[in-house]
Amino acid sequence: MTETFADAATLWELVERRASATPDMTLLIDESGATLTCAEFRDRAERAAAGFAALGVGHGTRVTWELPNRFETIIASFALARLGAVQNPILHFYRHKEVGYAIRATEAELVLVPGTWNGFDFTAMVHELTADLAAKPQVVDVFADLPDGDPATLPPAPTDGEEVRWVYFTSGTTSDPKGVRHTDRTLITGANGLAVALDMSGDDVGSIAFPFAHIAGPDYFGTMLLSGFGAVLVEAFAPASAVAAFAANGVTMVGGSTAFYQMYLAEQRKDPATPIIPTLCKMSGGGAPMPPEIYDEVKRELGVPICHGYGMTECPMICLGSPHDTDEQRANTVGKPVPGLELRTVDADERVTGAGEDGEVRVKGPMVFRGYTDPAATAEA
């Protein structure tokens, strides 16, 4: 079984351990065929960290970033992790209302954007949103000018994995988004739950077709570092081109959500006799219910099982199906609770419910978030 490093204190330590253990393993592949090995990723992230440090970024600096999937996105995020900055990732399809709220709520000192991307000027939007602020955040287009510097100038890497250094916003059921506070350790233990359930190894090749700015971003990337496999990174998911890239690079697992499963089915049905990704072994995902008939169709037409799961921004990994489960279990459940998580369901009177009874899910464990940015919301939860 591939060695894992689930006891790493921080995400940066996880990067260092993986680069030391398998320096030449291909960690990331993009749709053009460009690659980064584990050692190259560590080195580029360190150089970017030194560049950010020269801009004044350090331990505790509040950074909001809104970036689609590119190498620069993941490098920038882990460069910030190397410095101990507090990161607030935002999905790249959000615009003025959500971005303005996040910048103000986190009092961001630095905002990372992709410049003009897909016909939209993110830089201009941020300048417009912050024009009335007394202390305006610095805005950096990391796709055009990812900071670069000498790693020898860097301070020691952070060692406290329990410090809150991640804020993700979720709309929940309230009018204003809620800021969900995470630590490196909550993300690592969530990633370990994913790694154990999926049982991936160095022979596997994964895929990142969902936005890396989602809570699943560091969760999935952490799983890659723990289990020692690489992945194909897709900037903007289009089924035909994504499938071509996955097939060309020997991808063994794809996923995302039920909508993704249906898109892969649609691609397979264009030529039912020819597997769209010959190396594919399984699908995985979550984010929406999966009807059993979708499982049956994928198993019959693509020849692989779906390992469907359940999580939320507050606890990114709760349950996940496994390739070692039965077809009946995978088709009709979201799998077992991941290692380290305690789960129960209770009714309105706080009575623990039994099999076949509806109840509210309660979770406890090291992957659960550290409260909301709003103390009132934390107290209510």
CB 102 within 8 A of CB 36: no
CB 4 within 8 A of CB 227: yes
pLDDT tens column, 146-156: 999 999 999 99
At 251, the pLDDT band (50, 70, 90 cuts) reads: very high
CB 188 within 8 A of CB 14: yes
Question: Which residues fall within 8 angstroms of residue 192, CB to CB, at 6 or more apart?
Answer: 4, 6, 222, 223, 226, 338, 339, 340
pLDDT at 173: 55
- Of 283, 123, 318, 96, the residue nearest 206 (C-alpha): 283
Q: What is the pTM of this model?
A: 0.96
d(CA 14, CA 43): 14
- State the average pLDDT for the chain: 96
pLDDT greater than 90 at residue 176: no
Percent with pLDDT over 70 in the chain? 98
pLDDT at 381: 85
Parallel, antiparallel, or unpaired: how do β-strands 230-233 and 26-30 relate? parallel
At 171, the pLDDT band (50, 70, 90 cuts) reads: confident
User: Mean of the pLDDT values across residues 333-360?
Assistant: 95
At 1, the pLDDT band (50, 70, 90 cuts) reads: very low
